[in-house]
Each structure stands twice: as structure tokens, then as C-alpha cells.
Structure 1
Amino acid sequence: MTMPDAPMAFRLLGDVEVSVGGQRLEIGPPQQRTVLACLAIEACRPVSLQTLGDRLWGQDQPGGARASLHAHLTRIRQILAAGATAAGADVRLERRTGGYVLEVDRDWVDLHRFRRLARAPCATDAERVTSLRSALDLWRGRPLAGTSGSWAVRISDTLVKEHLDAVTLWADALTHLGRAGEVIGPVREVVTEHPLAEPLVAVLMRALALCGRDAEALELFTSARLRLADELGIDPGPELRTVHEALLRGEIRHTAETPEQNPVVEVPPQPARRVPAQLPADVYAFTGREHELSTLDKMLVEADGTSTAVVVSAVSGTAGVGKTSLVLRWAHRVRDRFPDGQLYVDLRGYDAERPLTAADALTRFLSALGLGGRDIPLDVEDRAARYRTELSGQRMLILLDNAATVDQVRQLLPGTPGCLVLVTSRDSLAGLVARHGARRLDLDLLPLPDAVQLLGRLIGQRVTAEPDAARTLAEECARLPLALRVAAELAAARPSTPLSVLVEELADQQMRLDLLDADLDPRTAVRAVFSWSYQNLAQDAAAMFRLLGLHPGQDFDAHAVAALGGIGLQQARQLLDRLARVHLVQAQRHNRYGMHDLLRAYAGDLAGALDPASDRRAAITRLFDFYLSTAAAAMDTLHPAERHRRPQVEVLPTPAPVFATTKSAQDWLNDERANLVAVCVHAEAHEWPAHAVNMANTLFRYFDASGLNTEAFKIHSLGRQAAVRIGDHGGEARALVNLGLVYWHQGLLDQAEEHLRLALGRYADVHDDIGRACAHKNLGVVLWRRGDLEEATGHLTDALVIYRRLDDVLGQAEALGNLGLVHQSLDQLDLALAHHRQALDLFEGIGYRVGEAYALNDLGIVHLRSGQPAEAVEKLGRALDHFRRIGERAGETEALNGLGQALCAAGLLDDAEARHTEALAVAGTIDDRFEQARAHAGLAAVREAVGDLERARAHRETALAGYTSLGVPEADAVRALLARADEPEDQKVGW
């Protein structure tokens, strides 16, 4: 059956197939199909190479197994990429931390769609029949057909059992609707293939009896009993026996007159048993977590008899994040759904005391279930078996709190469905997920509003009275529920102290750790809670955790960790994986990791106490060298023509990314941007001022092209301060130029001019001709924008002379292009055209894409001013493509506005309006006030052309306000248009 709304369908319930538009893709030999099946079963979750190897070959992997796997994965990626392109579908095979992930809508995989439909909550039997029928229609034969290996056979067997469960539920619901006759044919067909499926045999017996075919039902039982004895050496189970005995007593009646009546099957009363109720009290002032509670609610569907598997959820998260609070709140909400009781144990996996063993936990559970001491087996395996026996057929909720390892948990899992198990741990318990099908729920920090609300519930009106201080306090506590509660306790103990004072005390991270180390129960001390995780680390992981406390940024990847530790990349990845498993770091997207503030403070505190100052300094130096060297490599990939303008940075032996494409370089800079800024901040403030100077100058073009003015201002200000501190006049001059350009982009022309004139003076002091030319060039542009065309021409000519003397082709092209802008303003269009063409030729000769884009943009404007809108549209369209390809946001908004003007001149008003609207949006994101005003002026022209004079005037007035605030001559032209619009109609003749 074709899955609806699946442009790219993955089929596992039969032959393993992938199809696009009904056409099957060729997915290769059995081993490759097995790899694909494994990825599809785990869709949207990472599968490690080790797991793939184990599933493909088992324990005896052949030589070259890893190479074979990589080959299979490469071919699968190519096949899926081609299919996704053909289907227009978002399907990808990606490499991430933890393995390979098939990113696909899980509903496009028939197995996941089947499970969703089979387990969907239904209010009536009719809804259940419809949902289950849709699920069963997805089956096409033996699951995972065409694959190889023992793992595929095991999974296929498991899926067959799921299929039998669904058939049983569908038949049972249909029977309850009084439609037993519709059950017999389909179920008999399945029973013929699976004669030992006792629940299905029982359903068929009941359906036959309800249709008055008692003899057939009894014959079916006899056949099943004999087969069970011959093949398995066992008697029929209680379900089958119950139906058989009810049939013999005539308790299943054929009632044709009342087809909707349910069959009557009397079950002998069971002896009363003890119902444990071990849940600890609900958590006071529990706040938020609605999404997580909803996720747990969904598991009730799976625990409601729809699967032969025990439903297990592993709730993981860092110390103090509220795992126990969450599961207790949820357990109290749903306790009535588990009539046979609730079991709870604190395994103390990370406690300073001895962790509770599985054997001891089993003893507690068996006692709670009513067994006396003599009835509890001595051997732990026997004890676990007795525990499973006691839970058989029960609907019980079991909470296993604070587990450290899977081994602590494994023997505490029931063996039959009906029970639901919740496990909390700081570890992700990957083995519980892999071997026992646990559903992972990773608990993150509280959202800020919930964190503030929690403080309010704990300390009352003081939060309302000082809302800003309360928000700051919540952030200072990293939105960590345990820290929030400890901080609230601290505030409650000092009722006369304003929250703002407490916030000031908490501002220092060292003081924060001391204050939050509550001197009450050691389990509520933040320092102690973190230490329990830390003390369980191996020496190398503990050392790396301490070093990570020195990282100035908010997140990091394996390359940064390798630099920080002076280790290899593979070792860095392994250490990160180990730290992530115990939630001392948190895995994030793009193979990145982070630490929240309290953990970072704790790690830094440990580093200060345990690691020599020389070691800490060496680690930070290695890290800063890595970021600077890699940033330089990324910039060389993005803007090779400007390499000579950037600081010459040594290439280090530290493991670093290799940028094969401009996209990879851009992506790295985007991912690391916050860290690069943080490096500048830390370097300037401490013992690495040269790093701050070089980092800022290295990254100038990246921030400039991306329109990141705020961050650019920060790093260039830091670069200037650092340069002054070490007496680097050349570095200071470059920082002044960079700051001038930031002011230019913000439309603050007075400040831009001031900084550029200061830079000229500094460059003269250090006899840096190329820097001096750069300052002349940029000052000339600022003066051009202000309308000071004569002085602008002088500075631009000086720049061109210097660049020609130095044979700096890039500088010559830039100076020529800017001179062309001055000639445009002077209405010397032929001269402007010549300058822009010269600039374009030079830019193309050195492969400088940014310059090419700006030259095309400027040529387009000259063509527009010359009355050639078609040529203008062509040039500006090419410029826009260039700008977007290289991510030059400032240029993009210029090209969009120019294109809007050209399209308006060509009479394509809808297209013109769309381009100006886009320009307005882009200019807003980068705070380009000039282009915002220009976009409004363009929109005014379009609205005027369609006769919408009211909206045209509104746009024009907005443009005038923008131009006036900038002090640019464009304001005069807009003001004149508004004045003409106010003239009487009889004076507008010939206008």
C-alpha cells in the first residue's frame, strides 16, 4: 500500500524498498539493504558505526569491515540524495556525533507509520478498528525481506510479533462491535501461518463461537494444544484456556438479535494481593515542563496493552535539572491508570554513599509486593526471575531514580507488558535504549519565564517587586531547578535583603558557587551534586572537564577540545562523548557541545585549585591559536584576494577543519561566531592582547559582509584597546578603519569620518602605505555619501595613486569603483561607466567575487541613470545573485533596491515592489538605515505609479526622515518630490 503524503517512501514491512512517485530506487545488495534498514528503523536518531557493524556481521566482523561500511553509507547517501532531489523531499543521511542519522519524516517510513497507527489513542472500538486496519494495510509480507544477517532475522521476528499484536487488537475490537463474522477469514489466514500465536487463536475461537460455530472453535483449541505440546512441550496458556472453558460452559453466546452486545466471558476471581504505593510526595511548587509531561503521557498509549514489550523511558539530564521532580509530578498525575500499584527506588547512582545494587532493590520490591523474607531467593538471578513472575499480568508503574549505569537497571525491568518503567539518570543510558528499546527524554534547563515563576512560587512577592532582579537571578542560577531552589532558600533566609543585592553577590561565579553550596543537606548542595558526577570520571576525562571550564565561549566542538587539551581529534571526541554521557557537557546540534554556567564555574574552580597556572595558560594559548589560525584559513577560503590585508597567521599542527568549499568556511565562521567574539573579549582583558588585535583584523570582512555591525563594533573596539595597550600603532589604525566602516554601515557619518581621519594619522606614524591608502579610500566613500564630492575625489585619487605604486590590483579596483560613484553623483555617466568597467575587469582578473558584485551593481545603476532599464535589470540581477552566493548582506540590499528602481522604470511594478520590500527586510536585519530609506523611496515611486498617492506619500515621508537623520543629500531630492506633490493641480502641468 502506498503511504499517503509520502513523496519518498521507505518500506520495511516486506521487501526493503525506497520509492519515489511509485518508482522503486535501486538500493543495492543485501548488506547495503541491511544498513539502510537499520538507519530507517532508527530514523532521526544516530546509529554508530559500531552498531551498524554489529548488526551487519555480529561479533565476528571481517577485516576491512569499517571500510565496507563507509562504502555502503556513501552509496546510500548518493541514492537518497538523488531520490530526494527527484521527489523534492527533505531526506538526508548525515554524519553526526554518535553516528549516522537518516533525517526523514518518520511517517514516510512504513514501520513508524504502522506503529503510530497501531498505538494511536482511540475513544471507541470503531476508531480503533479504523486505525488498526490502516496500520495493517501497510504490511506486504515478511519484514526486512532482502536483507542479510542474524540481526535482521531477529528484528524481523520482533516485527512479526508486533504485526500479530495489531491483528489481535483489530480482531478483538471488531468482535466487540458485533462484527465477529468479519474477523474469521482474515484471522484464520494469519493463524494458519502462525499457529502458536495463542492470543490470536483465542480471538478466532471467540469469533467462531459468537457466530454459532462452536465445533470449529473447539477443534481449533485441540489443534493448538497438540501443536504446543509437540513443538514447545507446553500446555496452552491462561488466556486460551479461559476461552476454552467458557466455550465448554456455554458462556460465549451467539446472539444474532443483539449483534452489538459484547461476548460474555466470565473469569474466575483472583485472590487479593497487596497493592504497593511507594511514590514519594509530589514536588512542592513544581513549575513548567508541560511539553515533557505531554511526552510522558504519550507513553501511556504504548503501555495500554498494544505491545508485547515493556514500555521504558530513560529521563536523562544534568545534576539538579529536575529529573526526579518531573517523573514524580507525572507519576502522581497518572497513578490511577496503574491499579496494581507503584514501585519506587532511589538507586543513588551518583550518591557519595554506596550506590544501591540491583539485588538490594529487588529485595525491596519483592517485599513491597507481599513476599516474606523467606520467599525472596538468595541468588540475584532467581530474585529477578521471581520479581518478573510477580509482575506478570500486572499494570504497575515503576520508578527507578538516579541510576548510574544500565547494569543497575536491567534486572529491575519486568518481563511482560502492562508495566511502565521510568528511569532517571545523569547518563544517557545508551544501552537501555539500544537493548531494551527505552524512549529517551533529555531534560533541558527551565525556560526563563518558568524559572522566574518558580522563584515567585518559592519566595513570593519579592519576585513581583523586583522583576528585573528576579530574571537576573534566574539566569545566574542557569535556570537549573536545583540551583533556583537553593538560591530561593538563601533569599528566604535573608528576608530583608533585596533580591538585587543577592544578584550582585551572585554575579561573581566563584562567589556563586560558595553561596549556593547550601550548608544543609549535602544532596541539595550544588557543589556536592556536581562533584558526584565529577568524581566518577577517569583521570583524562576529569582533566578535560576542568579545562573546559577555561573555555570563554558558550559551546565548543571536538577541534576546540583537541586544541585545549593538546590532544588528537579522536581522543577529544571520545572524551566529549564520555562527558556528555554523564551530562557534564550537553550535546547540541552540528556536533557541538555546551556547559551551563554553574557547571562551567565549577569546572573552572577545579582547574584553579588542581591545575598549575602555567598549564592553564598553555591550554588557553593553544585554544586561542587554534581559533585564530582556523579563522584565518576560513577567511583565506572565502576572500583569497584580501589575504595580504589580513595578519599573517602561523599554520599550527593542532587538528583543524579543512575548508574545501566557501560554504564550509562560511558555516564554520557562523557556528563559531560567538566563540570568536568571546576570544577577543577574553584575550583583550587578560594576557593575550595580540590575539585580540589579530582576531579582529582577520575577521573584518566576515562581519562586514554579513552585516553583523554590533558584533563587529565589539571586536574592533576590543582590537583597538588591545593595540593601544601593547603599543601596536598599526593595529590601532586598522581597528580605527574597521570602526569607521561599522559607523558607515549604521549611517553615522560623523563618527565614520572622525575614525577614518584618526586612522590616516596613525598610518602616517607607522609609514604603512597600504593602510594609508585604505583609509583614504574609505574616507573618500564617506565624503561621497555626504555630498562632499570634491574632497571625496581627492582622497580616492590619493588612494588610487598609492595602490598603483604598490601594484595592489585589489586596491586599484576598489578605488576606481568608488571614483565611479563620485562621477555618478556629478552626472558624469560616461566617465562613471568607464571606471566601473575598469573595476569589474580588475576584480574578475583576481577572482574577487565581492568586488565583482559591487561593480555589477554600480554598472546597473549607471545604466538606469542613462535610461537603459533593460541593461540595468540584467546587471543588477547578476549582482544580486553574486551577493547572495557569497553572503554579502549589505550588497544584497543595495542590489535589491537598485533592481526595484530598474524594474519600476521598465514598468514591471509588481516585481519592483517585491524587490523593494525584500530590500527593506534585509536592510532591517543589518540595521542599514540608508538602504531602508532608499527602499521606502522606491516603494513610494511604485505606489505613485499605480495611483496610490496616499501610500506613496507615507513611504516618501519615511524615506525623508531616514535620509535627514543621516545627513545625506538624498533628503533634498525626496523633500522636493513631497513639495511638488503639495502644489495645486493646475501648477503640475508638464511635471
Structure 2
Amino acid sequence: MVDFHRFRRLVSQSRAVAEQRDFRTASELLGDAVLLWQDEPLADLRTAPAEHLRETMSNALLEARKLLVTNRLRLGQHHRALVELEPLMGADNVDETLAQLWMDALCAAGRDHDARKYFHAFRRRFRRLMRAEPAVELPPATPGAGDHATVVVRSSPPASTAPPRQLPKDVSDFTGREPLLAAIDTLIRPDGTGVVALSGMPGVGKTSLAVHWAHRHRHRFPDGQLYLDANAYGPTAPVDPEEALGRFLEALDVPADRMPVGLDRRRNRFNQLLAGRRLLVVLDNVRDSRQARPLIPSAAECLTVITSRTRLRGLTVREGVPSITVPPLPDTDSFALLSRTVGADRADAEPGPVGALARLSGGLPLALRIIGEHVAERPRAAVADMVDELTARLLDADGEDDEEASLRTMFAWSYQALVPEAARLFRMLGLYPGTSIGPEASAALLGTGVTNAEALLDILARMCLINHDTARRYRLHDLLRRFAADRADEDDPDVRTDALRRLLDWSLLSGVNAVAVLAPDRQPVPDLPAATTVRPQTFASDTDAMTWCEVERENLAAASLWAGRHGFDRHAWQLPEVLVERFQRRGHQEEVLPLLKSALAAAERDGHHVAQVGTLNNIGTAYFALHDHANAAASIEQALQLARRIGFAEAEAACLHNLATVHLSDGDAALAARIHRDVVTVCRDTGNPMGEASALHRLGDALRQMGEHHEAAAHYLAALGLRERTGSLRGQGAIHRALAMLYLDLDRPDLALGHGERALDIHGGTRDDPGLCDALITMADIHRRLARPDAALRDAEQATALSLDLADTRRRCHALTVLTDALTATGDEALAACRRAEALALIEEVDDPQMRPIRERLLAVRHAATNARPCPSGAP
């Protein structure tokens, strides 16, 4: 990931210098960026998030290569351009930008005949595959063009940031649907924009159709693709339009601390960002027009494709949105899809019976796959014999003739063929509140071992009753989830309750084990259940624990909300406790706030005052991380008053500590120091070394802000000793960074260096992204003061890239400031001026008194840089 951050920085710099028409330097920067790519990125990771990130990185590389070729052509280096383009020009290539660059390069090299030949071949291929006219043009003839000919390049440079690429993977065995694909083409505008809705029954393949069409045409949307599963019929409530817009804005690089609040403000910001951009939006699994309407861009250049089980009459009547009803597959396509599953040899040997089964499916792709797996699981049986068996089962559907009932009957074929233990797991999965599940959680549901649970999951996957999400995780189709939940009625209510309690216990206790590794100084969650009926996961390292938290984050949140709705109030407030650490490390605290507020309500219903104190404190901490100091102080003050009322001295000290930290951030160092001294005394009296270490650390911060550097250093070192004894790695890293900054204040960068390097090592090892960003900022300052401009630039660039990933505007201001200084030290005053202007604009936007020293620093440097050139227009 460090190389990818460097890659993005080089591409960004190349755009800036290209705007100044320095195409040679731009080409050199892009050449360096492309050389950073050696092997497949994230090759060892095969999770869904890794696949998505891998695709994003690959798309960014392709855009960089296009930009490199563009600059080559501007320099007249057409032969080099041809060499660099050739590996990208596959036989089935339909990328219009690559085609245009290839023809430009051919003509510049005097190969007009080859360019014309390629133009006609590309045009035929594009029309055949895309059923549209390509947006390419044959360059004018260049008679006498020689080695130094140049061309006017039509292709525009890519956007300043990598466009979102959120489309799910295309279906590998997509079959037929050509008339529907053509119908979608005719319903959108000739330029490929507009809105179209697809409706149809469950299992008919609406999502597959929309995604397949989108992949066919995504090259027409250079500014990216947004995708949303609106969850109309999933295990949780449909996605609220305000939340959906928040997800889109995040994908469009709006930082969390600048995220608009409220549906109308988010919609306005969404439309502002999309104005003038060609972008594809896929709204999948929408419940109704009211859910979809706010999410449709107003920008004329965008296209929105919507899928829903119901016809969205509101959109059709009020906005004139055309709608297509997706019918079942015709017999020929059903036969083709079923043949792929059962095998071509069996289909060729028994075409009649296979055709009969295809017709039995009703043309539903989901049903075809279930039938196909049923047949494929019995390779020695005659297909003809199974036709009678499956037909008989269908006729046993109690006379129901609606399509969904027929599909449920087909589900029943697979379900009834399961061994009892696999059937029980399937029923329990219908009650599972999360989105994806692995063997360990499945084992908790069943009360069995992990190996057995994994084997049962494999059985369900082979029967097409669950789908693989990643190598060891699975998801249910929402209709299958409903079918499984209905079947769960076969179990005794006490059995169902026990299974769900085991799942909640496993989730909670595994999370507690993860937090014990990630933050051994964190106060334990009170009143935990005994691990008598489950085997919670354990973790050998900080990395393992953090990986588990990332994978299970959505499931833990869903389990907590489900618990609060179904009478498990204690689990409902305990589960968010284990998520707080994840959000403190990886940012995006706005996601945990609603969960904590729900947890507070559960703690109040539970009558658990200690839980109320802890949750209020966590809410205040989340607000503080979002730089909302007023709400942070209010929540912490409420927790403090309750802690005093119930005589909870340890919690009172923690609340005072957090309240003092807010005062310190607001600039009242003297008040913060007084409170922290009191907290140190309380922690020593109550034998709380972890709390004492935190208080000593923040007392040091207050004293450093007051100019009492030597006393601050003594408190830092005392806190460091305590954290080393308690094993708090993150805490050690934070204190090393504080000591590094203190020595910088004293103009001793030589002493700061060792502490800064230690902070960098710790935060990098613990995957603490905010801490790592802070350490990189400090190290950039240290290297600059030690006259190491290249090292300062490296760390500042990494900090800037990481601050963008964290969506933290204030950290980004700090990172841009040290990047400005580093660029100035290397003599790149033009880019330094650009970054300085960006930082000043952000500071004005956040309007935070804490940022005033940074603003004054930037203004002073700008005043001194009298020979600085203006920031290139269009630079990021």
C-alpha cells in the first residue's frame, strides 16, 4: 500500500506539471509511477474488499498508462507510445480511449493505412459487442510524417483522483438476455445517459442483468461507477436514502468530517459533485420510488440503472422513467444455462430430459442453478429418472401457482435432500442477523465444532442454498433467507433462542479477545457471559485481531441492533464496546455513533448504570474524534455526573481525563493540566496504572502547550514506563511521538529522531492508521530539520495520502503543511504553492481555532516565497 500511495502521488504531480505543458517531466513522473507495479497487487488476499481494492488499483494503473501515452504523443514520441500501448490492445478490446490513442500514434508514425484499417475493425467490433457507435474518430492523414511528427491528442487526462469503481463482478455464466440488453440501450439517451428501471420477480436475474449491462458499458463512464444494494428485502432495514448518499459521497472522496448532515444537504452535495461528470449509478434491490428518487443524480451526463421487485410507478408517472419487466429466461437460454451446470456431455446425451428440467425451472436462473446442482450431484443417475421425481415434488406445492411459491418449492427440493445437521444449520442461518458468516459463527449457532460447521457450510454451498462471499465466508440470497427463516419454525422456540444466544455470546467474547490484544489497557466490558457453550476466537497478534474486527464489523453492528430489538439488551450495549477500538484505529467515527446511541438506550432498559457511564463516555470520544467538541463535552459531562452519583470512582477518573482532553484541544491548557493532575492522583489511589499512564501522557501534552517542556518530558517518560509494563503498544507509540514533538520544540531534531522512528514502527505494526499518519507528519518535520529533504518528502507524501484515506480534514491540513515545507526544501516551489493553497482552503472551511497556528505557519511561508509560481489550474 505504501507503493500505491507513492504511485498516486507521482500521478498527481504529473498532472500538475502537464497543466504547465511540461510534458517531458510529466512523462518521467508517470514512467516512475508505472515502474512501481511489479506483480498483482494484494496477491495473497482473496477477500471481497481485497478484490474491490485490487480492481480499483488496476484501474488506476490503466489510467496512468493512458496518461503516459498521451504525454508521449505530445512530445512526438510516437514509437515509444506504440510500444507502451501494444500490450494493452487485446483482441477483444473495446476501450475507446485506448483505440483513439492507438490510431493517433499510428498516424503520427506515418502509418495512416494501419490506422484506417484498425479504425474500421474497431468500429465493427464495438458495434457488435456494445450495440452502439464508438466515440472515436480517424485522425487526419499525416503525409510526410517523420520521426519528429507530433499530434494533437484528443483524449483528456484522467480525473484528479481515482474514480469510484463499485460495480460487483460480472456473472461468469451469464446466459442470453440479448433482447433485454438491446432494450436497455434503446431506452437511454443516444449519449448513454438517463434513467432506466428493471423490475421482476425474485430470482429472475435482475441484478445479474443490470451488472452485466453495466460492465458492457462502463467504458462510457470515465468518471466511475457507483453501486448500492438498497437492501429492500434483506435481513436488515432498507438502506435509508440519507445513509446511501453518505456512502456515495464517501466514495466520491468527501471526508467524514465534511459530510453534510441531512437528506437535502447530502443530495445537493451529491448533485454538485456529479455536475459535468459522466458517471454510472446502479441502484440495486430498491423497495419503492421514495427510496430511489433522492439517489438519482440530476446531472445530465449521468446514467442510473435501478432494479426492484416492484414496478416503480411513482418514478414512471412523475419523472417519466422508463421501466422494463425482466421475464424468465426463454427455453433455449434455460437449456443453455442448465447444460453448463449439468455438463455438456449429459445435456447432449439426454437433451429431452434436460429440456424438461429447464422448463420445470420456470426460466428462473436461481432455480436453474438449484436444479442443475441437484442433477450434477448424481452423476450416475439418468436425467430422465430425475425429471419424474422433481416434477412430482413440484406438483406437491398444495396447488399454489404463483411464481414465488414455485421457486420456494424448488428451494424445498434442495432443503429436503440435506442431511439433518446441514438442514438445521440452514434453518439457523435464516435467523442470523448479519450479512455474511464464517465457520466459527456457524459453529456457535449450532453448538458444534468449527470443522463440522465448515463441512456443513460446504454442503449448503454445493446445493446452491448459500453463496460464497470469500473463501471461508458465505451469504444467503434474500429469498432463501426468508425460506430458511420460515423453516426455522420447525424448531422449538427455546432451541432457536439458545442458538441466537450462543451466536451473540460468541460474537461478544471473540470481540473482547480481540480488544484484549489490540488495547490491553482498555477497561474490560462488565458482566460478560461465561464461555460455557461457545468457543470464542483467540488471536495471536495485533494484526490477526484487527483483521477479524474488519471482517466482522458489519456483523457485530447488525447483531447489536438485532439484540436490542429482540430483548437481548445486555448484548446490545456490550457488543458496541468491542467496535470502538476498531473505529479509533481506522477512522470514520460517524459510523459508530448511531450504534453507540442505540447501545445507550439498551443500557437504560437494562438498568445498568455502569454501562450507561461507559457508553456515554464512548459517545463523547466519538464526537471528539469528529472534532465536535461541544457534543463531546456534553456527553462526557453527562457520564461524569452519573459516575459520581453511583460512586464509580474509576469511571469518574476516565470521564475527567476525557473532559480535560477536550479542554486541551480547545486551547485551555491550564485547566486541562489541573484536571489531569487530579486524575493522576485518583488513579494512583485506586491502583489503576493504565489510567495513570493516560493521565500522565495528557498532562505532559498540557505542560508542553504551556511551554513547561522539561516537566512535560518527565511526565511523558513516567507514562511510557507504565505503558511498557502494561503492554499498551498504541499508547507507547503515542508517547514516543509526543516526545519527538517535544524535542522538536526544543530544537533538538537529533533527539527527536529516535522517538519518531519508534512511533512509526509501533503504529505501522499495530495498523493504527490515525497514529501512523501523525507519526509520518512528525517524521517529515524531523527529516526537514535534519536537512534530509528526500526523506521528509517521502514521509509527508505518505501522510497526505493516508489522511485522505482516513477522511480526516484536520490531519490532512497538518500533512499538507509538512508536504509544503518538504516540497519547498526540494526546490519544487510550484507544487509547494499548490499544496499550500489547498491546505489554506481546507483550514478556512473547517474554521477550527486549533488550526490557527498551522494557518499562520502557511501564510508566513507563502509570504517568504515571493518567487513562487501560481498553482497550476486543475491540479488536485
TM category (shorter chain) comes to 0.5 to 0.7
Matched residue SS, 2:411 = helix
Residue 499 of structure 2 aligns with an amino acid whose one-letter code is A
Aligned to 1:402: 372
Aligned to 1:842: 722
Select 1:551's aligned residue among 432, 447, 450.
432
Aligned to 1:780: 660
Aligned to 2:819: 939
Describe how 1:144-543 pairs up with structure 2 within 5 A: 285=180, 287=209, 344-347=351-354, 402=372, 404-406=374-376, 408-410=378-380, 520=401, 525-543=406-424
Distance 1:585 1:964 in 2: 51
CA spacing shift, 1:929–1:754, aligned 2, 3 Å: farther
| Identity across matched positions, percent | 25
Residue 479 of structure 2 aligns with an amino acid whose one-letter code is L
Q: Is 1:576–2:457 an aligned residue pair?
A: yes
Select 2:474's aligned residue among 593, 608, 622.
593
How far residue 808 of structure 1 moved from its aligned partner, in angstroms, is 0.9
How far residue 570 of structure 1 moved from its aligned partner, in angstroms, is 3.8
Deviations 1:899-930 (A, max 9, x none): 11111222222322221222222222223332
CA spacing shift, 1:812–1:603, aligned 2, 3 Å: same
Aligned to 2:738: 858
Mapped contact 1:282–1:325 kept (Cα < 8 A)? no
Distance 1:407 1:668 in 2: 34
Distance 1:289 1:92 in 2: 25
Please provide the CA RMSD for this pair: 4.6
Aligned to 2:647: 767
Mapped contact 2:504–2:559 kept (Cα < 8 A)? yes
CA spacing shift, 1:824–1:879, aligned 2, 3 Å: same
Mapped contact 1:860–1:873 kept (Cα < 8 A)? yes
Residue 699 of structure 1 aligns with an amino acid whose one-letter code is L
Select 2:583's aligned residue among 703, 717, 723.
703
Aligned to 2:314: none
Distance 1:698 1:281 in 2: 47
Deviations 1:267-305 (A, max 9, x none): xxxxxxxxxxxxx998863647869999xxxxxxxxxxx
CA spacing shift, 1:980–1:290, aligned 2, 3 Å: closer
Aligned to 2:683: 803
Distance 1:818 1:729 in 2: 27
CA spacing shift, 1:974–1:573, aligned 2, 3 Å: closer
Deviations 1:704-727 (A, max 9, x none): 223242333233222212112222
Q: TM-score, normalised by structure 1?
A: 0.50
CA spacing shift, 1:348–1:757, aligned 2, 3 Å: farther
Aligned to 2:14: none
Distance 2:765 2:373 in 1: 50
Aligned to 2:634: 754
Describe how 1:713-732 pairs up with structure 2 within 5 A: 713-732=593-612
Distance 2:331 2:639 in 1: 60
Describe how 1:114-125 pairs up with structure 2 within 5 A: none
How far residue 655 of structure 1 moved from its aligned partner, in angstroms, is 3.1
Mapped contact 1:564–1:623 kept (Cα < 8 A)? yes
CA spacing shift, 1:583–1:700, aligned 2, 3 Å: same
Residue 633 of structure 2 aligns with an amino acid whose one-letter code is E
Aligned to 1:51: none
Matched residue SS, 2:474 = strand
Aligned to 1:879: 759
Distance 1:605 1:751 in 2: 44
Distance 2:355 2:461 in 1: 20
Distance 1:690 1:400 in 2: 40
Distance 1:671 1:592 in 2: 10
Distance 1:974 1:787 in 2: 14
Distance 1:868 1:927 in 2: 32
Mapped contact 1:813–1:843 kept (Cα < 8 A)? yes
Aligned to 1:187: none
Q: Is 1:892–2:772 an aligned residue pair?
A: yes
Matched residue SS, 1:687 = coil
Residue 402 of structure 1 aligns with an amino acid whose one-letter code is G
Deviations 1:510-563 (A, max 9, x none): xxxx9xx99756588332332232233233322221111110001112221222
CA spacing shift, 1:801–1:324, aligned 2, 3 Å: farther
Larger relative contact order, structure 1 or 2 (CA cutoff 8 Å, min sep 6): 2
Mapped contact 1:646–1:698 kept (Cα < 8 A)? no
Matched residue SS, 1:556 = coil
Select 1:660's aligned residue among 540, 545, 556.
540
Distance 1:958 1:937 in 2: 10
Deviations 1:765-820 (A, max 9, x none): 22111111111111111211111112212222222121111121111111111111
CA spacing shift, 1:896–1:412, aligned 2, 3 Å: same
Matched residue SS, 2:372 = strand
Aligned to 1:208: none
Distance 1:581 1:623 in 2: 24
Mapped contact 2:550–2:582 kept (Cα < 8 A)? no
CA spacing shift, 1:981–1:536, aligned 2, 3 Å: closer
Matched residue SS, 2:468 = strand
Distance 1:627 1:981 in 2: 52
Q: 585-594 vs 716-725, which deviates more?
A: 585-594
Select 2:700's aligned residue among 820, 824, 836.
820
CA spacing shift, 1:321–1:714, aligned 2, 3 Å: farther
Distance 1:518 1:837 in 2: 79
Aligned to 1:604: 485
Aligned to 2:550: 670
CA spacing shift, 1:902–1:983, aligned 2, 3 Å: closer
Mapped contact 1:518–1:524 kept (Cα < 8 A)? no
Residue 698 of structure 1 aligns with an amino acid whose one-letter code is V
Deviations 1:557-603 (A, max 9, x none): 22212221223334323322221110111233242222122211221
Residue 344 of structure 1 aligns with an amino acid whose one-letter code is P
Distance 2:414 2:458 in 1: 14
How far residue 829 of structure 1 moved from its aligned partner, in angstroms, is 1.5
Mapped contact 1:709–1:926 kept (Cα < 8 A)? no
Matched residue SS, 1:555 = coil
Distance 2:44 2:806 in 1: 34
Equivalent residue pairs, number: 549
CA spacing shift, 1:920–1:594, aligned 2, 3 Å: same
Distance 1:756 1:324 in 2: 65
Deviations 1:354-408 (A, max 9, x none): 9xxxxxxxxxxxxxxxxxxxxxxxxxxxxxxxxxxxxxxxxxxxx9973624475
Residue 771 of structure 1 aligns with an amino acid whose one-letter code is A
Aligned to 1:563: 444
Mapped contact 2:374–2:414 kept (Cα < 8 A)? no
Q: 887-896 vs 533-542, which deviates more?
A: 533-542
Distance 1:845 1:905 in 2: 33
Mapped contact 1:747–1:966 kept (Cα < 8 A)? no
Structure with greater Cα Rg? 1
Matched residue SS, 1:753 = helix
How far residue 830 of structure 1 moved from its aligned partner, in angstroms, is 1.3
Aligned to 2:501: 621
How far residue 844 of structure 1 moved from its aligned partner, in angstroms, is 1.0
Distance 2:581 2:180 in 1: 51
Residue 537 of structure 1 aligns with an amino acid whose one-letter code is L
